A and B are shown apart, each in its own frame.
Chain A
Amino acid sequence: MDAFSMGLVAAMGALATVAGASEDIESDIGSQSNPNSQVQLAAQVGNPHRIYNKAVSGEPPANALWAATAAIVAYTLITAFQMPALLALVAGASVAALFNGVFAMSSYFGRNASQARFNQWIYLDIVRYTTPSIMAHAWITSFCIATISYIMVYMLPTPHPFPMPIIALIWGLAVGAIGSSVGDIHYGGEREFQNRQFGCGLNTMLSGQIVRKAEAGLRNSIDNAWFCTKFGGPATGMGFGLTVFLDNWRTAVFDPVTQASYAIAMGLFFIIVMVIYNNYIEKSLRRKYGPYPEYKGDVAA
């Protein structure tokens, strides 16, 4: 292990933290992934709304697409046109953001048009001011992930044997999966159902009864970004940043060829520590806040 490779690992961890945060906020602005089902149901149970409905797919495949797009463009520009890496990565992320905009718009149009019988309108002003915000966050995510892949393939002392686009695809899947499991709960459970008692869980009869009105005026997806930036985004960033950092740290400290067994043992050690820590957090939360009262009608927040 040398200082240079440890610096690179630290940089990758930092990039991953930013990527995780921006990924979660991107999906929250568009109401992607699991909270999307409530946005989709809202109109069907008689609550038409002004919230973006970006159902591109689950977050993992969608983010894999943005990251892979950024990586193939960067890889092409670097290998075929000898472009400087930073410029190539910027160009790649820009193409990925454009792809993201097309997919986001087509979902908003398509999903809302398919709810015509519930009178869910399509608002063009939402498309105009929310889509660029979604694209901007996708730009940050795909830039960070393509850069992580670039570092892993071209800069680390023991380069990764896979080609850059494949690594970007895998990290894209990973950031989507982490965003979906960590950050979305903050948006889905606490923002869409902000008027319910904290921690009451989602009763089936509440399905689709999401908050449609804001502190002033009607709630829109930019408000949701503001809310999710406070906790869901950073938590996701920490989750993904730790994943990338710890995973690369063990192969930076132990040589992956000659000391592979140490690196694997270190990975197992991390998993055991995290399982114990998660168990502790869950138990202490239940001790402090639980058990939650039975649902007895609506309770004022």
Chain B
Amino acid sequence: MSVGGGGGGAPSAYDPKKLRMYGLVGSIVGIYLGSILNSALNTEVFSFVGAIAAIFAVVMGANSVRRICAYGIGTGVPSIGMLALGMGIIAVMFGLSVAETMGFGLLGPIITLVYAGVFGYIIGVIANKVIKFNIPVMEEGNADLSMAGALAILGWSFAVSGTLGYADIVNDVLMTGYIAIIFIAGGLAILHPFNACLGPDEKQDRTLVNAIMVGGLAMVATGIAALATQGLAAGLLQLIIGFALWFYFFKMYYKLVKRDASAVVGTGLLPPTVQ
């Protein structure tokens, strides 16, 4: 018996193609919206839009972890989450620096996305053909994961720095060390949902709600970082919206847990065995 709940793919109520589309469009549009609002109104208050945009990408990434790992990769869940962010951070640095060198700073997210997709697909091909994982959705899933990781890092980096300029992100996010929390909280937001819900009775909606919940928590962390880089108003706004998202979706998660569990009891002895 595999800890991951048996091979053959995960049953899903939400189609992965639709989730991918919502994830990519939601997060790209969100990052651009935040960036344009910030520069048009000459403020940094709208950085929180980038942080919310990253959550769209996280949901897509969590769904892709779920699809790949349902093939019985139980202990590989954390590794694949770290892989997603590893691929993502390379794509973000590449995309932003190329866009800045070309003189079109605003093209950064698009270049990042394309690079991440191709890069992830190649890693997926290597995993399947060279390391011989033989998981049917590996190539597609790895491309999804790479794009999700890249957009999560880009969204939260924008939330901390307030602009999409390569030099600003290097100064505000990398040199201050805030990339540490973006990397690890982003990684956990992608890997934790499926890891926390692992088991034969895992349900897609519960896993994805967990992803939004952890995304809210990561937004609280970027809000704290934004206090230092953008000042009190922008930081606090992000922190409060992150907390509200976390609170709402934690309650929803608990509701779904009560729906799915065999019993939620105050206390008691061991339950009768079902075998």
Chain A residues in 8 Å Cβ range of B253: 106, 109-110
CB < 8 Å: which of B74, B184, B227, B262 contacts A169? B184
Q: How far is the CB of A115 from chain B (nearest CB, A)?
A: 5
Q: A72-B221, A117-B200 are in contact. Are A165 and B261 (CB under 8 A)?
A: no
Chain B residues in 8 Å Cβ range of A162: 177
Q: A57-B192, A117-B201, A218-B269 are in contact. Are A75 and B176 (CB under 8 A)?
A: yes
Give B176-200 interface residues, CB cut-off 8 Å to A.
176-181, 183-185, 187-188, 191-192, 195-200
Judge if A25 is at the interface, Cβ distance under 8 Å.
no
Give A93-117 interface residues, CB cut-off 8 Å to B.
95, 99, 102-103, 106-107, 109-117
Q: How far is the CB of B206 from chain A (nearest CB, A)?
A: 7
For A, the interface residue count at a CB cutoff of 8 angstroms equals 60
Chain B residues in 8 Å Cβ range of A69: 181, 185, 221
> Which of B81, B191, B199, B257 has the most chain A CB atoms closer than 10 A to its own CB?
B199
Judge if A135 is at the interface, Cβ distance under 8 Å.
no
* B198:A57 contact, CB within 8 angstroms: no
Chain B residues in 8 Å Cβ range of A79: 228
Chain A residues in 8 Å Cβ range of B21: none
CB < 8 Å: which of B192, B199, B254 contacts A56? B192
Chain A residues in 8 Å Cβ range of B270: 48-50, 212, 218
Chain A residues in 8 Å Cβ range of B273: 46-48, 119
With both beta carbons as reference points, the residue of chain B lying nearest to A55 in the complex is identified as: B195
Chain A residues in 8 Å Cβ range of B210: 106, 110
Interface string of A233-250 (1 = CB under 8 A from B): 000000000000000000
Q: How far is the CB of B90 from chain A (nearest CB, A)?
A: 17
* A114:B201 contact, CB within 8 angstroms: yes
Judge if A189 is at the interface, Cβ distance under 8 Å.
no
With both beta carbons as reference points, the residue of chain A lying nearest to B231 in the complex is identified as: A80
CB < 8 Å: which of B75, B176, B227, B269 contacts A37? B75
Chain A, interface SS category: helix
CB < 8 Å: which of A49, A99, A164 contacts B217? A99
* B177:A165 contact, CB within 8 angstroms: yes
Give B199-233 interface residues, CB cut-off 8 Å to A.
199-203, 206-207, 210, 213-214, 217, 221, 224-225, 227-228
Complexed CA–CA distance, A118 and B200 (Å): 9
Complexed CA–CA distance, A46 and B1 (Å): 13
Judge if A144 is at the interface, Cβ distance under 8 Å.
no
Chain B residues in 8 Å Cβ range of A116: 201, 260-262
* A112:B78 contact, CB within 8 angstroms: no
* A113:B267 contact, CB within 8 angstroms: no
Chain A residues in 8 Å Cβ range of B200: 44, 114-115, 117-118
* B264:A122 contact, CB within 8 angstroms: yes
Chain B residues in 8 Å Cβ range of A195: none
Judge if A65 is at the interface, Cβ distance under 8 Å.
yes
CB < 8 Å: which of A72, A123, A168, A218 contacts B225? A72
Chain A residues in 8 Å Cβ range of B195: 55-57, 107
* A72:B198 contact, CB within 8 angstroms: no
Complexed CA–CA distance, A67 and B206 (Å): 28
Judge if A154 is at the interface, Cβ distance under 8 Å.
no
Interface string of A62-89 (1 = CB under 8 A from B): 1011001101110110011000000000
Complexed CA–CA distance, A99 and B184 (Å): 13
CB < 8 Å: which of B184, B203, B250 contacts A106? B250
Judge if A125 is at the interface, Cβ distance under 8 Å.
yes
Q: How far is the CB of B170 from chain A (nearest CB, A)?
A: 12
Judge if B103 is at the interface, Cβ distance under 8 Å.
no
Judge if B25 is at the interface, Cβ distance under 8 Å.
no
Chain B residues in 8 Å Cβ range of A57: 77-78, 81, 188, 191-192, 195
Chain B residues in 8 Å Cβ range of A58: 75, 78-79
> Which of A37, A79, A166 has the most chain B CB atoms closer than 10 A to its own CB?
A166
CB < 8 Å: which of B179, B207, B264 contacts A121? B264
> Which of B75, B197, B250 has the most chain A CB atoms closer than 10 A to its own CB?
B197
Chain A residues in 8 Å Cβ range of B96: none
Chain B residues in 8 Å Cβ range of A117: 200-201, 262, 274
Complexed CA–CA distance, A106 and B176 (Å): 31
Q: How far is the CB of A19 from chain B (nearest CB, A)?
A: 17
Q: How far is the CB of A232 from chain B (nearest CB, A)?
A: 20
Q: How far is the CB of A81 from chain B (nearest CB, A)?
A: 8
Complexed CA–CA distance, A72 and B172 (Å): 13
* A114:B202 contact, CB within 8 angstroms: yes
Judge if A61 is at the interface, Cβ distance under 8 Å.
yes
Chain B residues in 8 Å Cβ range of A61: 78, 81-82, 184, 187-188, 191
* B263:A121 contact, CB within 8 angstroms: yes
Those 4 A-B pairs whose CB atoms lie nearest each other, nearest first: A114-B199, A163-B177, A165-B177, A110-B196
Can you identify 6 A-B contacts, CB atoms within 8 angstroms?
A40-B3, A73-B224, A116-B201, A118-B262, A124-B264, A165-B177
